[in-house]
Structure 1
Amino acid sequence: MKRFILLAIAATISTAAVAAPETYVIDSNHSMPRFSYSHFGYSTQLSRFDKATGKIVIDRAAKTGSVDVTIDTTSVNTGFALFNEHIQGEDFFNTAKFPTATFVSKKMNFEGDKPVSIDGTLTIKGVSKPETLTVTSFMCMPHPMLKKDACGANATVVVKRTDFNMSKHVPYVSDEVTITLPVEAVKQ
């Protein structure tokens, strides 16, 4: 019996020693942040950004992690070239001066073994605000095609355009914007 207890303790200690943070690089081909807003109350408009980069560091055993995402705001895709130019103008993203938006976090909040929210700083148009992303799905497993470990997640947050100096057409075009961040990342 003593031997069994000692083996169990040794296994626990060696597992704890092996657990360490893992770094995952965002796959830009499968990570296209989206944003949606009410257009005059008629409909909800949905647009996306075609380029995002960054990394996720996660230690599932310690239930800690960080996220660093950079969105290329010049890659905004509304479905219409003229509207893309309008959204990139000074009244909105002002991409000539602010070509990126970022979300940087040092804190993941877990329930059980999965992250449920991520506290961090969202910077858009040079304005930084604390925001919490709600994680709506999360999964890690070996990627069937890449033959490497990968993680995927969807996270969302609702922000106000006026907080980021983008108040044109408020309240006709809603102040509240839902940002959805679908991410796939491959282990380094």
Structure 2
Amino acid sequence: MKKRIACLLVVASLVPALATAGNWSIDDARSKIGFQYQAMGATLDGEFPQYMADIELDPAKPDQAQITLDVTTAKTDAGNPDATAEVGSPLFFDSRRYPTARFASSRIQPQGNGRFLVEGKLSVKGITRPAGIPVMLKTEGKNQRLTGTFKLNRLDYRIGEGMWADTSALANEVKVAFSLLLVPKPSRKTP
């Protein structure tokens, strides 16, 4: 489960190649990467509102796709004003030293019926670990909708150190959910 951490982000842009070959981008206005966690007994919903993706995918060869997703950690909305103010600090994402979290795909495995397992490496706060996340891909006109949900353990990436390492105050498990609308980039015209 913990290996699936960043895949949520990368997965967002990873599987879109099934509809059309070529480059894809994420329609930010119709996409969301969110997370849910327990703090002091309350359930909070947060969001990663700023991210960029580089997606190369040939629908005929999805196993050869290359996807990189970068999330800006300093822009994280933790679902509570106090938590949002703290999330970029050295105790959490340490956004000054590590301004982005990155997922880079290495393999996509078809699972049938529009489902895939996206494998790769997730790097958060200077720690890189293997990650794998199940995703679902649906065609929406010329676009692709990529969705998925997975759980990760924040302490594997040193997110929430010091007093926040106490899992009775801040749960270790974080549920990540995403819904990304992938749109084909316009093809470049050659002179």
Using the size of structure 2 for normalisation, the TM-score is: 0.75
**Is the counterpart of residue 161 in structure 1 residue 157 in structure 2?**
no
String of CA shifts for 1:166-188, please: whole Å, max 9, x gaps.
24243111111122232111112
Contact persistence 2:31–2:180 (CA under 8 A): yes
What's the CA shift for 1:113?
5.9
Identity percentage of aligned residues: 20
Decide whether aligned partners of structure 1 residues 79 and 35 sit closer, same or farther in structure 2, where only a CA change above 3 A counts.
Answer: closer
Query: RMSD between aligned alpha carbons?
Result: 2.2
String of CA shifts for 1:101-156, please: whole Å, max 9, x gaps.
11110211112362421001111111111111111x311232xxxxxx21111123
Return the match for 1:179 from 176, 179, 182.
176
CA radius of gyration, larger in: 1
Decide whether aligned partners of structure 1 residues 47 and 20 sit closer, same or farther in structure 2, where only a CA change above 3 A counts.
Answer: closer
Residue of structure 2 in register with 1:170 after alignment? 166
Unmatched runs of 5 consecutive residues or more in structure 1: 1-18, 143-148
Decide whether aligned partners of structure 1 residues 76 and 181 sit closer, same or farther in structure 2, where only a CA change above 3 A counts.
Answer: same
Decide whether aligned partners of structure 1 residues 32 and 74 sit closer, same or farther in structure 2, where only a CA change above 3 A counts.
Answer: farther
Unmatched runs of 5 consecutive residues or more in structure 2: 1-18, 186-191
The structure in which a higher percent of residues are strand is 1
Aligned residues: 162
String of CA shifts for 1:54-89, please: whole Å, max 9, x gaps.
033333333423321111111111344432121111
Query: In 1, distance between residues paired with 2:120 and 2:175?
Result: 16
Residue of structure 2 in register with 1:139 after alignment? 138
Query: In 1, distance between residues paired with 2:24 and 2:77?
Result: 26
Contact persistence 2:108–2:118 (CA under 8 A): yes
Query: In 2, distance between residues paired with 1:171 and 1:88?
Result: 19
Residue of structure 2 in register with 1:14 after alignment? none
Contact persistence 1:107–1:118 (CA under 8 A): yes
Using the size of structure 1 for normalisation, the TM-score is: 0.76
Query: In 1, distance between residues paired with 2:181 and 2:77?
Result: 20
Opposite residue 134 of structure 2, the aligned amino acid is T
Residue of structure 2 in register with 1:9 after alignment? none
Query: In 2, distance between residues paired with 1:152 and 1:131?
Result: 21
Bigger RCO of structures 1 and 2 (CA < 8 A, at least 6 apart) = 2
